[in-house]
Structure 1
């Protein structure tokens, strides 16, 4: 089990190549490595660490400013994000739960939400476009 330090340039490739990636955003890599090594089932996932002081823009993408936060990706989808320091038992339970999820169902739900958001955006755009075209027609 190994924790890989992640930076702006290595973060997205790590997410892309990992089936399940557990990332802690914090100041201290050594503390996270110690806790990660004590996680039951630690070998089932990949581990990464982002130094919040050195990688400010990357941490900000996940809303992490100063405190620790844990983010878990599965098949490039964020399935867990919570601020605070997680102990080995918490991380082990999260990993077990996330590894047991039916990703086909989750991906279908994500696609459905994207479609709903697109439909909502189109509803917002269409009345404006309609009003603009009516005002041009009336002016002519």
Structure 2
């Protein structure tokens, strides 16, 4: 076997190993970013967003929006953090190459008062598209009736 085919075989093996590691690396980064979000710091999560990220949260609750920039998303996440919502990724699915990656996250979120009362709980799926390490767009699908119930509870706290 000449050196060239052996080098090509090693390059192909290394490329294959990187392709296998890519989904796991994205999942670990996401889990870290969500831990930081739960601790009140949305910045690590925002570092993965493109400047012109598109974010959609369908429905009629106060959370519903269609945002088109990282700055708009920063404000939305700040509200999320300020009331103390806790988001946990239960399962992360990553598909595709680094230049066209689809990510799907099955997650749960909740809000617990300082006295330990769970006032909100929901499950969601987040679908997104990543290109070269930057989140380009994502959308959240969750039980919108529960989002409205959270709005109602929050209204009793601020009024």
Q: TM-score under structure 2 normalisation?
A: 0.26
Query: Rg bigger for which structure?
Result: 1
Greater strand content? 2
Greater helix content? 1
Q: Which has the higher contact order (CA 8 A, sep 6+)?
A: 1
